[in-house]
Amino acid sequence: MLYRDLDTPALLIDRERLEKNLVYMQSYADKNKVNLRPHTKTHKMPEIAKMQLKAGACGIAVAKVGEAECMAQHGIKDIFIANEIVGKIKLERIAKLAQKGVEISFGVDSVCHITAAEEVFSAFKVSVPVLIEIEIGENRSGIVEEKDFINLLEALKKCEFVQFGGIFSHDGNSYGADNIDKLHEIARYSQERTLAFVNLAKAHGMNCGIVSYGATPTFMNEVEILDGITELRPGTYALMDASQGNAVGTLDKCAATVLATVMSKPTSERTILDVGAKGLTMQRRTVGICTTPGLGTIYEYPEIHIDKVFDEHAIVNSQSFHNKVEIGDKVRIIPVHICPVCNLYEKAYLISGDKVVKEIEIACRGKIV
């Protein structure tokens, strides 16, 4: 079957680009003598996760308990939930995964996370490691003050069933770096701050088994990985998107596109495609090296961008594009940010050249609890 024979909108994945991306990142991790733990929230597909493991990854990261459960059901047994977990219901679900032999771990940044987990895990008689998240510039979750870090270490010392697994960090602020030099500066600071907490833990008699650090723009631009980092945790690298492509200076690594049909040409400039916010999202990147024009880039005409989206319509205001396409033609769109886009589709089509070679279930789609 040719991909242009598919009904639209449809999520396509270029097999050769995907495979090259997986090889690149694994080689980068191997060169730096660190483990690779891909963040699968990007693609939400156990099949791609297994490709990453086969390529050499030590395990996977997920964002939610539901994703961990789904990946475990598909036979993946080493899973880190790179997020804080709150609530007895979620903790009990993690305990059940541990009882089934899944090597499960998750993030914490508050003492109450630890005490609640200890209560649940003691009832289930399971030991589960946690990683303390360190805030390194993204201004999101994670430890900011050293005193709070020490309080967490002291709380962990009192636990029988919650183990100290190490620390993790994410320099999502690297997406907004003004240039490559600034990106490298952010990466160095992020790692140095992360490693400072490793030393602080050691000074308090607790060694970090895992020091996990992640963000795709830094690794795709081959930043230096400092001694003491044990694990890289990128996500978007597998599929890439227009913003990540702009961060590395080429769209040639973008493996994922959305196939859409020209459905209307109501004026001499305006062209309407049959996919909108429900198939592309409304996300923009307007700052830093990931800056991307519009709400999607036309794969066949990379100088053309989507100007506006409604729920089910994408608007392109370009006379040149209008003159190049007819109603019924199909074009591919490189999303601005692929992670939320994958969550909108039930399946993806793996393509090689013009041919559809496989359908892949997006099994973790909607697993946001």
Residue 237 per-residue DSSP state: G
Pairing of strands 330-334, 256-264: antiparallel
**Residues paired with residue 13 on neighbouring β-strands, in sequence order:** 256, 350
Which pLDDT belongs to residue 202? 98
Q: CA torsion, points 204, 205, 210, 214, in degrees to nearest 10?
A: 10
Which pLDDT belongs to residue 141? 97
Which pLDDT belongs to residue 211? 98
Instruction: Count CA atoms within 13 Å of residue 211 on its CB side.
Output: 23
| pLDDT tens string 119-169 | 999 999 999 999 999 999 999 999 999 999 999 999 999 999 999 999 999
**Residues paired with residue 292 on neighbouring β-strands, in sequence order:** 285
Is the CB of residue 3 less than 8 Å from the CB of residue 356? yes
| pLDDT tens string 33-64 | 999 999 999 999 999 999 999 999 999 999 99
What residue type is 278 in one-letter code? K
Is the CB of residue 244 less than 8 Å from the CB of residue 220? yes
Average pLDDT, the chain: 98
| pLDDT tens string 91-123 | 999 999 999 999 999 999 999 999 999 999 999
What residue type is 296 in one-letter code? G
Which pLDDT belongs to residue 35? 98
Domains of the chain: 3-10+243-361 (2.40.37.20), 16-236 (3.20.20.10)
